[in-house]
Amino acid sequence: MNERTEGEICLVNMPLSSIVRPSLALGLLKSVLQRDGLSARVVYPNLWYLEYAGAQYQSVFMTPRTEECLVDWLFAPTAFPEHDGAVEAFLDMLFTNHPELLANTGDDPRQHLLDLRARTPEFVDWTARRILASRPRIVGCTSTFQQHVASLALLRRVREIAPDVITMMGGANCETIMGKTTHENFTWVDVIVSGEADATIAPLCRGLLRDGVALCSDDIPAHVFLPRHRDEGYPRIEGNDGFPRGTTPILATLPAPNYDDYFFREIHEFLYRDHLRPGIPYESSRGCWWGERSHCTFCGLNGGGMGFRSKGADQVIEEIDGLVDRYGSRRIETVDNIIDMTYFDSVLPHFAKSERKLNIFYETKANLKRGQIEGFRRAGVNWIQPGIESLHTEILRQIGKGVATYQNIQVLKWCRQFGVFAFWNVIAGFPGEEDQWYEEMATWLPWIEHFQPGNFCQLRYDRYSPYFNRAADYGLELRPCRQYEAVYPLPAEALRDQAYFFTDTKIRLHEQLRADVRPGLTAVFEHLTAWRSAWPTLPRLQWDSDVEGDVVIDERVCATDGRHIVSRLHRAALDACESAVPPMTLRTALSRSDGIDAPTVDRLVADLKERRLLLELDGRLLGLVLDHPEPYAPGQEFPGGSFLWRNPRDRPPTEDVERPSEAIAPGAEA
């Protein structure tokens, strides 16, 4: 590691962030800075930390939910040595929530985590010295989810070693009042950027390099906090939580991200590089066009900047092709909250014809048509997240999803038909939900077990969501998740302003997962758990291609027969219900095509429902039988990248790679 890389600005990606893909935020900022003539380098201590801890910890870090703050807790003694925290209480909560961790960290998991926590200051010191060895004048950290405390720990050590270096933070954890609270309380951070930084980062850094933190007021964007604001007061705005957030109005002005540091240096030096299958993150839009119309009650994304902006199709095609050519990976994970619907007629057809055969991920809304799902598969969009958060229309209506249950089931059917992986959830614990709705859901869930299963998860209350902004309207009493108290040395009011994730003081969903308390909820939970346990093996419910006539193979547990022999009229009815249709529409269609009267149609429908081949939801009839479904794309790992660590107890063969425990002397070249 005897190199010297020039760069007045060092951008840092601290733990916990994904090791299997570069940072989109920092890659974009580097590209913007370079375009404007500034020298920047991106470094990845998130990779270094896994080397330091050992690959067996990767699953440990990734298992707890973000709001459980495990990695924040590991770095807390380094960032806040004056704060002891509730160590035993924190570990009690962690292992109570995740008993599976007992098998992943060794014979004494509590002691293993305590030892790792005690050794983290050594890692932070090593990291700070390695970064400072290239003599940057600005060190800036991105902070999203569990990066905040690690970033604060690093910048504190940078300040101690090199007081003249300007320290900076930005990212989702630094937006509006959270950024103000971080800046006000942790004074070793010179600069906080609230919101999107692309349009202002270059002039801001140019001014900091010229004048230091004593910038002229005219050179300070409203969404940037500097040391003077601690004395003069912070800029305020009307609305939201009173503090500004930067926004880039036109994405066409932005260059493609630069991931050279990750692909050409970091992963080549990474101890576990042979286990890494990296993906390429890409952004084709920001905001949410549905959220502009109806903000989903639980959604805390975008920090109040819901306005939808997207890149033109030609720009998206050119940039994705360029990234694939430059970095040699065909895995593309778009980070958009929701796909621009015009891409179905522009971007997707291009990649369907491309010889590159990409593997792409996109987030979507669930009100998609059959041809759009087929278009995804043809274009290499093998993975989607269709925004399914419930399978009951009353819940979907309450949370503002703008879809009904039949549309969610329909998109799951078509994803299975065309071999597209679908990430989806049943979120439980919404204010005002009724257990009867889960009882109704549980009656027909076994009917769709030939589709890909979803996750069961508890509702989380996020800052910026309607649940947070209008908590009293929903009967909520929100407080920061308890783990924050073990991490931050802040009084209650400041801790509330720092936190992103909250819990209701009254609802304890895990206490309700009992058949005598919430029988419907418990039934749904148990069925989803069993369904997921069987994955990736799925039963078949499909037309038999090996025999003449109309025969349905049915391997579901709920099957009334393993082979359904159906008449021509039954087949016609199922074909007419390929997309969910109202009963009257079915009667009209069969009357016109086959001359069948309404009573006969009703008898056909009753028979198909009794065989569980036809599902009626929301006043619509949906056929559940698949027609020669396509297999999932062979060998297609998740487009965002993967870390193939097969045995968490075994270390890989010893390699001649410097470990982070070998500290670098101040001023030495790294």
Q: Residue 111 to residues 87, 91, 118, 297, 410: CA-CA distances in angstroms?
A: 12, 10, 10, 40, 48
Task: Give the tens place of pLDDT for each residue, 18-58.
Answer: 999 999 999 999 999 999 999 999 999 999 999 999 998 99
Picking from 396, 418, 405, the residue whose alpha carbon sits closest to that of residue 447 is 405
- Asked if pLDDT for residue 647 goes beyond 60, the answer is no
Mean pLDDT of 598-609: 95
CATH architecture of the region 279-476+508-534: Alpha-Beta Barrel (3.20)
CATH number of 566-623: 1.10.10.10
Tokens of 460: 């989380």
Mean pLDDT of 310-325: 98
Q: How confident is the model at residue 127 (pLDDT cuts 50, 70, 90)?
A: very high
Q: Mean pLDDT, the chain, as a whole number? A: 92
**Predicted local confidence at residue 192, as pLDDT:** 98
**Predicted local confidence at residue 509, as pLDDT:** 67
Q: How confident is the model at residue 593 (pLDDT cuts 50, 70, 90)?
A: confident
**Interatomic CA distance for residues 467 and 469, integer angstroms:** 6
Task: Give the tens place of pLDDT for each residue, 558-586.
Answer: 999 999 999 999 999 999 999 999 999 99
- Asked if pLDDT for residue 343 goes beyond 50, the answer is yes
* Structure-model confidence comparison of residues 661 and 345, the more confident one: 345
Q: How confident is the model at residue 545 (pLDDT cuts 50, 70, 90)?
A: confident
Contacts of 23 (CB under 8 A, 6+ apart): 11, 13, 17, 42, 44, 142, 262, 281
* Structure-model confidence comparison of residues 668 and 512, the more confident one: 512
**Predicted local confidence at residue 669, as pLDDT:** 25
Picking from 123, 132, 122, the residue whose alpha carbon sits closest to that of residue 41 is 132
Q: What is the CA radius of gyration of the chain?
A: 27
**Predicted local confidence at residue 107, as pLDDT:** 74
Residue spans of the domains in the chain: they are: 9-251, 279-476+508-534, 566-623
Backbone dihedral region of 424: left (phi > 0), alpha (psi from -120 to 50 degrees) or beta? Answer: beta
Give residue 555's Cα distance to chain centre.
33
Could you list the beta-strand ranges (E) of 235-347.
Answer: 276-278, 280-282, 285-286, 309-310, 331-334
* Structure-model confidence comparison of residues 218 and 539, the more confident one: 539
